Structure 1
Amino acid sequence: MPAFQTSPGMRDILPGDSARWRRLNGVFAEVVEAAGYGQIITPLLEDIGVFTRIGDATDVVTKEMYDFVDKGDRHISLRPEMTASVCRSFAQHRPTLPWKVWYSGSNFRYEKPQRGRFRQFDQVGIEVLGVEDANLDVEVIALASEFYRRLGLSRIRLIVNSLGEPEDRARYVEALDAHFAQADLSEQARATLAKNPLRVLDSKRGEDAVAIASAPRIGDFYSEAASEHFATVCSGLTRLGIAFEVEPKLVRGLDYYRRTIFEFQGETLDSAQNALGGGGRYDGLVEALGGPATPGIGFALGVDRTLLACDDEGVFADDTADLDAFVVDVVDGTHALELTAELRAAGLTGDRGYDNRSMKAQMKLANRSGARFALIVGDDEASNGTVVVKPMARDGGDQQNIDRTDLISHLKDKLRNQR
């Protein structure tokens, strides 16, 4: 057992897996940048006030933040989510509206680790600030849907709801409070009720099911404006052929949401941990962070659970690219040094053996590397200015002795034919 290991809920992402993560980020960037979104990179550390604005009735704020006082006596936190950081950035820099940004990166929450959920977890997401149009809500949801389609996922369930205008929500919360106060709830739900009646609807406990099923529905409290906004969202999704279900019990986990909210669920995952990601409107959050009143909408999608869903469906597999060539130098290592540099300068991929190992040992490394060709330099080749090009696949043909000056063009021709 090594002296040091990762902390609970943390883990290392090793080569192979990390390449898949990077590729996922690339797919996401392609999808959202085609719609005019630019990347934003926010700090991992923020003043704790940035996140307390997201709602002191949420577990994220009350229980899960990694916060501490730094050496400058500032109370700061590792970011538990991205939206508040983006809104803080907007309030600080005041960019031109509409502001469309995307992000990827790690967040930190001190919660019980579970399948597809760690204390350090990565998300990809987008935020748009400065637009109230319900058709933007449709665009945002459609981009997430397109991302999942590009990954090859098909067993995805999209649920949508609206929390109405702030006044609608206030009336609804009052009605929920009165309903649940008379209901037979679990001890945990009672504690949640005291802080935020909406969050009781999130309970998955069996003893709360009857009370939740009979609870008032948010749709009965919509103003005319809220009803029209939500109807436009639903109509737009239908026009784009995006399947969805209206789920009146959907409330999302953070207090800043208003009007449209949505969640993507992986149907292959356990129902208790099937949320792949989601989002909604958060009009009012920028203002709470010291900026002007600015409407906003966005989403965040979990990388871990998305990849679990990909594994379950057998899509977006790890396809770490094989090397083009592995250089075997049994002279003095300097030929391998030069050849690998030439390969990389020509846009090819190459690796080599080290420590003047034997031909047998270096060929084992070449096999293990997955390289398509081994480039072998012995004493004869060094004297003649040639390289032995050996195909590593069984059906790759015979090895050839190629002049060094012709090596790159020869390899490119061979690789082009293989592909």
Structure 2
Amino acid sequence: MTAKATQVDVIIVGAGLAGLTLASLLAKQGKSLAIIDRVLPSEFDCETPYDVRVTAVSPGSRAIFEHIGIWPNVQAKRVSAFDAMVVWDEASSAKIRFVAREVRQPVLGYIVENRVIQSSLYESLLGVSGIHWCVPESVTDIVHCDDVVEVILENKQVLRAKLLVGADGSRSGIRGLAEISHAEKLYLQQGIVANVQTEFSHQRTAWQRFLKTGPLALLPIGADKENRECSIVWSADHGYAEQLMQMGEEEFSQEITKASDSRLGNIRLMSERVSFPLVSGQAKDLVKPRVALVGDAAHTLHPLAGQGANLGLTDVAVLADVLENTERDMGSLRVLRKYERARAGEIQVMQFAMDAFVAVFGSSSKPVVTARSIALDMAAQTPSMKRFFMEHAMGLSRDRPVFAR
């Protein structure tokens, strides 16, 4: 054990959405923390255009933000609520519409820029006693020493804690240092995100069309009274995605108008386009002695359902709940297994569901098209089935911590 080390209760690696939310929850419990990242969240300027990197925040995730007190700050910056969602299929006439009032909720969710949430979390933690910021910094090694774990930073500083949490994203360095294996699946697709202006109002509705080349989602954003701004998330096969990225603005605008079936009229590109490979991944273990993984460090999903960030926030809420309600050593495997058992089932089900959706809706086989058309129509006409899907997607299920639903 290193003689000179900074001692805290929990070390969190990653100052993104999952890491800072966990820090806020643990700070409320009175735990001392060290937060490590290469960069700090940038300040938010309401005069800047909408960023293309957004998160679909569920009511369950909003409840977490309300619990830690940042939701009013998020709302004061930029938030776009949506009350309904329409899903339809290019290859058939099948469609389904979800409406918030069907589950007695005011909204289905909120589209929020990532930087709005991260800056609000960071601002809420500034000045909080018991938080040791190690930024810009990175971890070079971890060492297990009896009843603690030591973290060695690039500047040779040593931190010591009962628990180390990896919240450092899909390429998690902590996952590697903890020797936790990780399986990835390539979808052979690219995701394209951008902001657009529509001819007609988006009606506070999220629109998603399943195309043979991949799903296209138009998510309502913007504070304009006419509701004619959307964030798009377009998952497309590699070859088509490359064509889309190389198109000029006018050609791309025409292509997205066509792909969206002109539901919102003519569409015009308003921002840069950003593309990224679509990959799902899952860590074999969520915990090792004195180490826990949350968020993208633990799992990544295909973006078609917009559930990746919400799944990670549920990780954070459950881990914080486990740590608050134990009198044992918080870094012991016995305690951490409670977190793993509580999360493993939902993560596996969500991974399976996303893979199934991609396979079924990406197929042009006539029997598959017929089957999915029947399934969509059946779900649309079965209120109990619709409520089940909506309650789980919205984070309203009763197996979550009370403050997270």
TM-score, structure 2 as length reference? 0.24
Give the number of the structure whose residues are more often helix, by fraction. Answer: 1
Give the number of the structure whose residues are more often strand, by fraction. Answer: 2
- Structure number with greater CO (CA < 8 Å, separation at least 6) is 2
* Greater radius of gyration (CA): 1
TM-score, structure 1 as length reference? 0.23
